[in-house]
Amino acid sequence: MNTALIEVEGLVKYYAVPRQGLWESQQYVKAVDNVSFTIREGETFGLVGESGCGKSTTGQLLVRLLQQTGGSIRYRGRDVTGLDRREMRILRQEIQIVFQDPYASLNPKKQIGWILEEPLIIHRIGDKQERRKIVASVLEQVGLDNSFLKRYPHELSGGQRQRVGIAAALVLNPKFIVIDEAVSALDVSIQSQILNLLKELQHRHGLTYLFISHDLNVIQYMSDRIGVMYLGRLAEIIDVAQAGREPVHPYTQALFSSIPQVKATQRERILLQGDLPSPLTPPTGCTFHPRCPYAMDRCHQEMPELKPYSTGNMVSCHLYEGEEIK
Ligand code: SF4
């Protein structure tokens, strides 16, 4: 699991804010600001952070639903940020997304059979009979039978709709799937069924996931490595697959201290002061400095870089300078 499937380098997404007056200078919301990470073949890379931290925007940039302002995204070593329509159509077979709200992404006027067959028609895969076989097979893989083919999205429960959303992502036989808050709207018992289904499908098809969630328990359960985002940037990447890789960034430590532990080594709860600043006017230097209990003078001026740290994590914090792996 060490070959890089996705390599993100200096990814940037800014949104221009409409000017109020003719003479007002142009302002930008920095949704994603210089983000770099790698997703290895066959792993689940989790992205977590507070609402508005840029995790969903990052996912949408990776599946090319959004155009980046800067930086590069390589898939199997090839930069995919400047592909034309034909090349994008080929890439779309390999890269898919599952959304939080499948009801919004499934055409309410079409039956499930049509919804699942349409991508195969667009990509000119198989004849009618072969396409029906593929659709029946993906339905079965997500735990639904053929009786669902003639149903409409509004006739399904939330869990069944999410299963159809996963089937729609699977039907083109992709290699990489972005799963964006896919269980947040579901009841806890249904959540665990869908999470286990995603794990089973990953194992069966050798899939690679970018798993986005604000729920730390869910992220920990699903991920091999976790990227923690704060105000459009990566604060830390934690290798959870390796035992003992505890968070070291002050923000990540505070975030993880809020998870109840079953173990005797309960982390001390760290309460963050202040609110999340606006991404329109992010603080200078380290953007976490107004809320950080360890902030030093240089934190107000200098943005720390994300560097490999001796525990195996990657961390963006001046506290650890000099302790990084060269
Ligand atoms: Fe805190 Fe400074 Fe580290 Fe930012 S760089 S997390 S302000 S110690």
In tens, the pLDDT along 52-90 reads 899 999 999 999 999 999 999 999 999 999 899 899 989
Would you say the CB of residue 291 lies under 6 angstroms from ligand 1? no
Quick one: 65 exposed, middle or buried, by C-beta within 10 A (0-12, 13-18, 19+)?
Answer: exposed
Nearest CA to 225 out of 208, 250, 203, 200 is that of 208
The pLDDT assigned to 232 comes to 95
To test ligand 1's pocket by mutation, which of 317, 320, 323, 324 has the most ligand atoms within 8 angstroms of CB?
317
Question: Is-contact 63 36, C-beta < 8 A?
Answer: no
Query: pLDDT band at 128, cuts 50/70/90?
Result: very high
CA-only gyration radius of the chain, Å: 21
3-state secondary structure of 85: helix
Would you say the CB of residue 272 lies under 6 angstroms from ligand 1? no
- CB contact set of 297 (below 8 Å; sequence gap of 6+): none
3-state secondary structure of 53: coil
Cα(301) to centroid of ligand 1, in Å? Answer: 11
Residue nearest to atom 3 of ligand 1 (CA): 317
Query: Percent of the chain scored above 70 by pLDDT?
Result: 95
Mean local confidence (pLDDT), 301-317: 91
Cα(276) to centroid of ligand 1, in Å? Answer: 15
DSSP bridge pairs for 208: 176
Mean local confidence (pLDDT), 25-42: 94
Q: Is residue 270 predicted with pLDDT exceeding 90?
A: no
The pLDDT assigned to 312 comes to 81
Mean local confidence (pLDDT), 15-42: 90
Angle among Cα 89, 90, 93 to the nearest 5 degrees reads 90
Q: Is residue 267 predicted with pLDDT exceeding 70?
A: no
The pLDDT assigned to 243 comes to 55
Would you say the CB of residue 228 lies under 6 angstroms from ligand 1? no
Domains annotated for the chain, with CATH where assigned, are 4-94+174-320 (3.40.50.300)
Q: b/e map of 263-273 (b: 16 or more CB within 10 Å)?
A: eeeebeeeebe
The pLDDT assigned to 207 comes to 97
Q: What whole-number distance in Å separates Cα of residue 186 and Cα of residue 56?
A: 18
Q: What is the mean pLDDT of the chain?
A: 91
Would you say the CB of residue 309 lies under 6 angstroms from ligand 1? no
Cα(275) to centroid of ligand 1, in Å? Answer: 16
Q: Is residue 262 predicted with pLDDT exceeding 60?
A: no
Q: Is residue 265 predicted with pLDDT exceeding 70?
A: no
Atom of ligand 1 nearest to the CA of 304: 5
Q: Is residue 160 predicted with pLDDT exceeding 90?
A: yes
Would you say the CB of residue 299 lies under 6 angstroms from ligand 1? yes
Query: Percent of the chain scored above 90 by pLDDT?
Result: 73
Nearest CA to 104 out of 34, 182, 40 is that of 182
Mean local confidence (pLDDT), 208-218: 95
Mean local confidence (pLDDT), 227-234: 96
Residue nearest to atom 6 of ligand 1 (CA): 317
The pLDDT assigned to 246 comes to 83
The pLDDT assigned to 24 comes to 81
Would you say the CB of residue 285 lies under 6 angstroms from ligand 1? no
Cα(110) to centroid of ligand 1, in Å? Answer: 51
Question: Is-contact 138 171, C-beta < 8 A?
Answer: yes
The pLDDT assigned to 325 comes to 65
The pLDDT assigned to 75 comes to 97
Cα(159) to centroid of ligand 1, in Å? Answer: 41
DSSP bridge pairs for 4: 40
Would you say the CB of residue 315 lies under 6 angstroms from ligand 1? no
Mean local confidence (pLDDT), 265-279: 76
Would you say the CB of residue 186 lies under 6 angstroms from ligand 1? no
Nearest CA to 54 out of 228, 241, 192, 303 is that of 228
Residue nearest to atom 5 of ligand 1 (CA): 317
To test ligand 1's pocket by mutation, which of 294, 313, 315 has the most ligand atoms within 8 angstroms of CB?
294
Q: Is residue 244 predicted with pLDDT exceeding 60?
A: no
Mean local confidence (pLDDT), 157-179: 95
The pLDDT assigned to 191 comes to 93
